[in-house]
Amino acid sequence: MTTPAISVPRPDAGFGDGPGHGGFGGLLRAEWTKFRSVRGWVIGMIVAALLTIFLGVFVAANASVGCQINGGPPKSGKACLPYVPHGPGGEVVTDSFYFVHQPLTGNGSITVRVAGLTGKRADLSGGPVPAGNGGLVPGLVAWAKAGIMIKQSTHQGSAYAAMMVTGGHGVRMQYNFTGDIAGMPGAVSAAHPRWLRLTRAGDTITGYDSADGTHWAQVGKIGLSGLPATVQVGMFATSPNYVVSQNSFGGSSNNIGPSQATGVFDHVRLTGGASGDTWTGTAVGGGGPAGAPPPGIGGGGPSGGPGPGGQGQAPYTRAGGTFTVTGSGDIAPVTPGPGGGLPTVTIEQTLVGAFVGLIAIVVVAAMFFTSEYRRGLIRTTLAATPRRGAVLAAKALVIAAVAFVTGLIAAVISIAVGVPKLENQGQVLLTAPVLTEVRVIVGTAAMVALVAVVAVCLGAILRRSAIAITAAVLLVVMPFLLTVLNVVPASVGDWLLRLTPAAGLAIEQSIPRYSQVSTVISPIQGSYPLTPYAGFGVLCLWAAGAVALALVMLRRRDA
């Protein structure tokens, strides 16, 4: 980029630092005048915004979903989507499990002993498994679940609270899809059973666990506002898809297959307004055993009779006071990544072009300082304003403000144009609260501004445009690319996104990393190893360090 000569205002024109010279405000105005007087720098910022917008919209326009249902005509976009349940908080959820239940009117409780939890999963050793394949091998996935539940109704997405044992995370109390409280650790077996209890008192549900059925510990107490007088109470089992991820240079692949969990329950006891010993089996969301056609609502027979199952296995059986329940699916919020069963998208995926726009921004920001060294104008600037810290601060503030506005405009347009395109293409938008969306947009602009500050400080430290630009790209952009393209091992990429300025991109995450959902770290899908503010904090530390080092170098070296 060719930089024309820059005209530096005289000290008496408000560039100075003393009385009558306009102080720091005059210095800011002078630096802004420098910036806008160089056409190449202004064009560079416009290019950065256009790159961000273009790449985001381009990705959205090429994310079409196609399908052909039961040999019918090919379809695309929204026509391919199944029913998408939403939880009480409005989030997209998976609500698929087998439920052996009966009505509970008013207050009451359910107590059971879980004497076993076993599972099966798809055999992915030979590659992907065709949809509906019934060939399962023994294996229990970590978030396989079996336990007891009080649920508003058998409608998908309705409010619930559950106590459960899991394949690899001990006893948990979960509620309304996003809530998760840890209970007793360890696996369940006939030798080491777990006792579970749920009680209802109005809208308050309390969960307990015990190792012996005598000594009980409260796991959690939560409120499910608006519960009707009559709810459903009973035992359930479910197990999420089994996923095997493989990283290779330039990309990654995920093999996905079904799994199922089988829970064994005895010592079942109900108190309060339950109807007695009449149980109904329901495959909520088609959550019967894996490999079977979805049985639909009421898949189990009345009074405990078995419904249709996969591989000849009934969803539940009863022998005296012992219930065996088998189900598949999950009860959890849907998050980006494999295994969710839906083509999902988040608002930050339309900001995928931000890292490309950053390249143009660091070029401009670095040259904002190095151009004065190259043309010898830094002597005039420092003669007009001897306080070198003030010069550095003025340049950093001007470039940060320009970059912030550029990033803000680009983020707003990318999301406003890209998200509707993605939804029209058949992608399911994982919604976020309004304040979270504001944080994503403003945070993206702030991240861009801080990167510009780092670049301008590198210009002050290194003095040469090519070296400063290269250093900025290596620090900020390269870690992201190395991780996304799997050039480095996943563990190395994880640390790059924790320790380098690229950690600041985490501010764009709109969907939390829920403890009860297995998440694959994938920046391209909006999933980072650090939380949004932790990642942004790392970038702030880099910016502060760059400013401090640049100030030291400016004061110690001759112009």
Q: What is the reported pLDDT for 289?
A: 85
Q: What is the reported pLDDT for 445?
A: 96
Residue 336, judged by CB atoms within 10 A of its CB (0-12, 13-18, 19+), counts as buried
Residue type, 154: T
| Residue among 171, 113, 337 nearest 240 (CA) | 337
Q: What is the reported pLDDT for 363?
A: 94
d(CA 335, CA 348): 13
Phi, psi of 127 (to 5 degrees): 110, -165
> Helices (DSSP H) in 305-387: which residue ranges?
354-375, 378-384
| Residue among 275, 300, 279, 276 nearest 289 (CA) | 300
CATH 1.10.30 assigned to 93-341: no
Q: Tokens 């880099």 appear where?
A: 542
Residue 204, judged by CB atoms within 10 A of its CB (0-12, 13-18, 19+), counts as middle
pTM for this one? 0.82
Q: What is the reported pLDDT for 238?
A: 96
Tens of pLDDT along the chain (559 residues) come to: 444 444 444 443 333 444 344 578 888 898 899 899 989 999 999 999 999 999 888 777 676 676 666 667 777 677 777 788 999 988 999 999 999 999 999 999 999 999 999 999 888 766 555 544 457 889 999 999 999 999 999 999 999 999 999 999 999 999 999 999 999 999 998 899 999 999 999 999 999 999 999 999 999 999 999 899 999 999 999 999 887 766 655 556 667 888 999 999 999 999 987 767 889 999 999 888 875 544 333 333 333 333 334 445 689 999 989 999 999 999 999 888 766 667 888 898 889 888 889 999 999 999 998 888 777 676 666 666 667 788 889 999 999 999 999 999 999 999 999 888 888 887 888 888 899 999 999 999 999 999 999 999 999 899 888 999 999 999 988 988 888 888 888 888 889 999 999 999 999 999 888 888 877 667 777 788 899 999 999 999 999 999 999 999 888 766 5
d(CA 262, CA 116): 8
Rounded to 10 degrees, the C-alpha dihedral 546/548/549/555 comes to: 140
Written as six digits, the tokens of 414 are 């990318």
Written as six digits, the tokens of 252 are 């990654």
* Rg of the chain taking only CA atoms, in angstroms: 29
Q: What is the reported pLDDT for 298?
A: 35
Strands 259-274 and 66-67 turn out to be unpaired
Give DSSP secondary structure letters for 399-426: HHHHHHHHHHHHHHHHHHHHHHHHHHTT
Q: How many CB atoms lie within 10 A of CB 69?
A: 11
Q: What is the reported pLDDT for 374?
A: 75
Q: Tokens 């409608």 appear where?
A: 155
| Residue among 427, 289, 323, 358 nearest 110 (CA) | 323
Contact 6, 372 (CB under 8 A): yes
| Residue among 448, 168, 477, 513 nearest 456 (CA) | 448
